[in-house]
Chains A and B, each alone.
Chain A
Amino acid sequence: SQQGEEDPQALSIQEGENATMNCSYKTSINNLQWYRQNSGRGLVHLILIRSNEREKHSGRLRVTLDTSKKSSSLLITASRAADTASYFCPSFNAGNNRKLIWGLGTSLAVNP
């Protein structure tokens, strides 16, 4: 089964609204990352949060991490049509497998 599980699988909002996506993982991690994929394109790294961090900001992005619940959330504020994409939250454990573990992603549609 997937280590990273994004929720919801699909989200549709209006331009200007905030979008919140959640992510859960199963084992201990060194960090958790969020990536964006525009339709049919390569994935782009957005933000990384380390296991000893609880919240991180980058522009309109806010990421939280709760290691006790093994979960993370990504908030995109004041969404734009250009934010329409799939979002993934792979986690990384340097000890066990030394590579990112990917989930199925959340598909976000921002309607103009």
Chain B
Amino acid sequence: DADVTQTPRNRITKTGKRIMLECSQTKGHDRMYWYRQDPGLGLRLIYYSFDVKDINKGEISDGYSVSRQAQAKFSLSLESAIPNQTALYFCATSDLDSGSTDTQYFGPGTRLTVL
């Protein structure tokens, strides 16, 4: 969905390097999420933000940090990358409307390889 963009799309880095993945959205949604996807493990939530001042840890936040710079921007940092953080990372957005659906819109993903 072009309304949610992620940069970079692919990244190869070395163990110990600091990496930042960026997400921008033009949907005007308040909620933003970072997930990682590994083969056989499905989607796992890293961090989520319900608005600019609200940041929450997901189920696998260790080794990651986030920054919600604006309603439209949510970045994910790996402070010191390690090989088991090699995965496909997705950003998503949603707007908890009056119908309480939380339908999510995903970016195209960032494939991260840590050597």
Contact = CB atoms under 8 A, between A and B. Distances in A.
A94 B4 CA distance: 24
Contacts of A105: 42
B12 interface: no
A69 interface: no
Interface residues of B, number: 28
B103 interface: yes
A48 B111 CA distance: 28
B24 to A, nearest CB: 14
Contacts of B103: 33, 45, 48
A31 interface: yes
Contacts of B33: 99
Contacts of A103: 42
Interface stretch (A11-19, A35-43, A75-83): A35-43
B90 A100 contact: no
Contact of A104 (B42, B45, B102, B104): B42
B88 A100 contact: no
B43 A102 contact: yes
Given A40-B88, A99-B48, A45 B104 contact: yes
Given A2-B42, A102-B42, A102-B43, A31 B100 contact: yes
A88 B106 CA distance: 13
Contact of A44 (B1, B100, B101, B102): B1
Interface in A35-61: 35, 40-45, 48, 50
Contacts of B44: 102
Nearest to B45: A99
19 contacts: A31-B101, A33-B101, A35-B104, A40-B109, A41-B108, A42-B4, A42-B107, A42-B108, A43-B43, A43-B106, A45-B103, A50-B99, A88-B43, A94-B100, A94-B102, A99-B48, A100-B102, A102-B35, A105-B42
